Amino acid sequence: MDDPDASSGGTNPDVLLTADGHDWAIAVKTVHGVPSQTIFENVTGTARQIERVGRDGLIFVKLKNRIDCTALIPSDAVYGSPSHAVRALSGSVDQIIQKLRTEIVDAGWLEAFSGQKARPIVTFMSQTVVSAMIRVQNPMFVPIKAFRPLPVPPCPPNEMEGIDAEAWACCANRTTSFNGIPCPLRPPKHRE
């Protein structure tokens, strides 16, 4: 792990690793604004950060304080199970992703990822604590997390190769997952 400020002056992503003989850069950004343009600017800056280290990379966006947690409280104030709460949190993250897909045109995403080392899936993360039933007894406060992918076309989908093509096909065809990550949204038709 590389401290993004102290050890490299902020030029390296958060994690540099080698897995199965392949070097990877992982960058995690915490967004502090809700507007789609703000989130998009964070993603494009992160893609440039990955490019500077010359490794293929993955982008994660932490939606700290971007989810309306009060909206996640069910009417009876207790979820029937933690999995129900995770589905609700995932739905809130999906709303942010859908807004991004609507407000940022494909050309912007294509420009941000064209020729970049950053892979064309941005993973959004969120977490909170909810009251949920554990077994049949009293409810307990439990931490929940949601990870939701946003497939990003780095080039027209018919020109993709390898892992990029597999990831895009997964999300475009609404298959259940790619490398264990569920694909929540169908990519929009390409707009000029």
What are the pLDDT digits (tens) for 171-188? 555 444 444 444 443 333
Taking the model in full, what pTM does it have? Answer: 0.74
Which has the closest alpha carbon to 129: 115, 118, 145?
145
The region of weakest confidence among 3-17, 54-68, 86-100, 131-145 is 3-17
**CA 50 – CA 46 distance, rounded (Å):** 6
Average of per-residue pLDDT values in the chain = 77
The rounded percent of the chain whose pLDDT value lies above 90 is 13
Q: DSSP E strands: which ranges in 12-161?
A: 15-19, 22-30, 56-62, 118-133, 139-151
Judged against a pLDDT cut of 80, whether residue 131 lies above it is answered with: yes
Identify the pLDDT of residue 105: 78
Which one has a higher pLDDT value, 80 or 74? Answer: 80
The region of weakest confidence among 11-25, 74-88, 172-186 is 172-186
Which one has a higher pLDDT value, 170 or 13? Answer: 13
CA angle 154/159/160 to nearest 5° reads 60
Which one has a higher pLDDT value, 10 or 126? Answer: 126
What would the two tokens of residue 63 be?
């939606």
Once rounded to an integer, what is the mean pLDDT over residues 105-119? 80
Count of CB atoms within 10 A of residue 50's CB? 23
